[in-house]
Structure formats: C-alpha cells, structure tokens
Amino acid sequence: MLAISGGGAGGAFAVGILSAWSELGTRPTFQVVTGVSTGALIAPFAFLGSEYDQRLRSFYLSDQARRLVDINWTGLGVFSASLLHGDALREMVEENVTPEILRRIALEHRAGRRLLVMTTNLDTQRAVVWNIGAIANSGRPEALALVRQILIASASVPGIFPPVSINTMVDGKVIEEMHSDGGSSAQFFTLPEHLIVAPDHTGEENLHIYVIINNALIPEFSMSPGKALPIIARAYAILLKSQTKQGLIALYNFARRTGIDLDIAAIDQQVPYSMSDPLNEAYMRTVYRIGYKKAHAGSLWNQRPRFMISYPATCHDMRCRASY
C-alpha cells in the first residue's frame, strides 16, 4: 500500500520520490494507493505507474501550479466561500483526468488493485473514502464527472478553494452534499480507524505500507506577525502537523502490534514557506529535490515516525532543548 498525504505545494516531495523510485527500478506495483488533499491529485497517476511521472512533474514543477492561483478579489475572499475561485483547479483536473485515464483505472480495478481517495463531508463532519476504481468500472455515464469532483473536493483546502457539491441518493431522494479537503479529517489514509485501534486485530499477512508525508514533522521556526490572518494560518499549520503526528503514532503502534511492515518518508528539513504564496515555485522545486535525492541515496524511509530535530550541544536554553 502507498498512502500519499496532504500538504499543498509539498506534494512535489512525493513527486520527487516517485521519479527517483522509477529511475532506480525498485518502485513496486502497489495493490492499494490512497490519496488525501494534494495526495489525491497525485494518487491516480502514481496508481497507473511510472509512465505518468512526467505528467506529475509538470503539475508541480511548471507554471501549471501557478495557474491555480486565481484570486477571488471579491472582498479578497473574506466574504466569499474561498480565497481562490477554484476554476483553474477544476480546469487542470478536467484536462488531465480524461476518459482514457478512467478506462485505465477501471482496468486495474478489475485486476484487483484499489485506488482510494478521501474527502470530508462538511455537512456530516465525516470522512468519506471513495473507491475510485469501482466508480471508474461502473460503466455509468456520470462516472468521469464524479471522479473529477471527488479529486477536486479532496484537494480543496477550506478557505483557499471552494467546497464541491456532490449529488447523492438518500432514502430515494437526491440530495446535495458539501465535500471539501480530505485533510480536514486525516492527513493520510491507510486502514479504517476501527482496525487500527482494535486490540485483538492480528494484522494482514505480507502487508507493507509506505506513507509519504508531504510536510515536515519537525518544528519549523518562524516569527509570527501580530495580525489575525497570519496567526490563524500559523495555528492551522501547527494543527495539521499535530494531526499528522497522531495519525503516524497510531499507525506505528498498529504495525508493532500486528507485525506489518511500515516505511515513512517526510520532509526532514525546514524550507522557507509562506501561506500568502501557497504555490511558490522555489519551495516546490526544493522539496522535490529533497525527495528525489533522499530516494536515490537510500536514506528516505524510516520504520518509525521521527519528530525530533538535533540541537547544537552548546544550546542551554530550555526552549532549545524541547524536541517535540
């Protein structure tokens, strides 16, 4: 299983890993691929294999990413559903998730492989895991449009991109559900929560889970301006980091308890980043190179989550010594 996390522009980190993995010739054919948020945009192409690496690189390392910044100038987004219109994201997904891509996903689904994407239902406050392969294989005329909606919804960070309205049937009536960023529920998805917390679960034979975290788990120092929006953005970033840590701790304990193999990759150095420039080209190229070089060097994967950073031996300040 390959689980690709959220992280916005940090998705370039996963793209660097996949590119290097392909070049090394050691990239597995995953039985299950899951994606959340930016990971949802990567997952279909990671699922289909190395021949789509160039397409992923064009997403994150070309001006395609910059095109997504379509500012909603109406009240600077404060009095509307989002800061960005979201039209450019929709156009990018529609251009790249084509009928041929859907056909290939359906073919792999029939071969027993699974592609799963998580969104968050804002109305019910519940995570929803969509079986993209089953939808692709359904033969229904609306399948392509639905898959596109799901990918857009999963990547639609609240406040940045508008949520997506998805029609569904409940008790024989068509209703509209409001779906948004899967990262609001969890930064990555591997197994259902009830399995991870079950004390007597014996695990799955020969299960090997790879988790790519498109973010840094280490503390990242930055001076916080004394203004509302930067403070909210900084607090939200801390919340996501904490959420990711807790998810990894639970998965690690499950792996220890059941004997499954677990490999975790995360950005392990501080790279300058600003919420005011969410798709900064320099940031994406830097984290791409980190993933690419570490994969090539064989120093990428850890069997347990690492949240600590090394401080100089001369640091005596109590705040310096805090390592989590």
- Helix 53-61 and helix 281-297: axis angle, to 10°? 140
* pLDDT tens figures, 136-150: 999 999 999 999 999
How confident is the model over 256-271, as a mean pLDDT? 93
Are 268 and 212 in contact, with CB atoms under 8 Å apart? no
Token reading at 122: 């804002």
Instruction: Kindly provide the residue ranges of all beta strands, DSSP E only, lying in the chain, ordered along the sequence.
Output: 2-4, 32-36, 114-121, 126-131, 164-170, 173-180, 208-216, 261-267
Are 244 and 10 in contact, with CB atoms under 8 Å apart? no
How confident is the model over 141-169, as a mean pLDDT? 90
How far is Cα 8 from Cα 1, in angstroms, rounded to an integer? 22
Q: Residue 318 above 60 pLDDT?
A: no
The length of the chain in residues reads 324
Region of poorest pLDDT, from 47-51, 84-88, 157-161, 249-253: 84-88
Radius of gyration of the chain (CA): 20
Are 89 and 279 in contact, with CB atoms under 8 Å apart? no
* pLDDT tens figures, 20-59: 999 999 999 999 999 999 999 999 999 999 999 999 999 9
DSSP secondary structure letters along 21-58:
HHHHT-----SEEEEETHHHHHHHHHHH-GGGHHHHHH
Q: Is 158 exposed, middle or buried (0-12, 13-18, 19+ CB in 10 A)?
A: middle
Q: Model's pTM, two decimal places? A: 0.89
What are the backbone dihedrals phi and psi of residue 101, each rounded to the nearest 5 degrees, phi first?
-60, -45
The one-letter amino acid at 157: V
Q: How confident is the model at residue 4 (pLDDT cuts 50, 70, 90)?
A: very high
Are 203 and 258 in contact, with CB atoms under 8 Å apart? yes
How far is Cα 311 from Cα 314, in angstroms, rounded to an integer? 8
**Of 212, 192, 189, 210, the residue nearest 201 (C-alpha):** 192
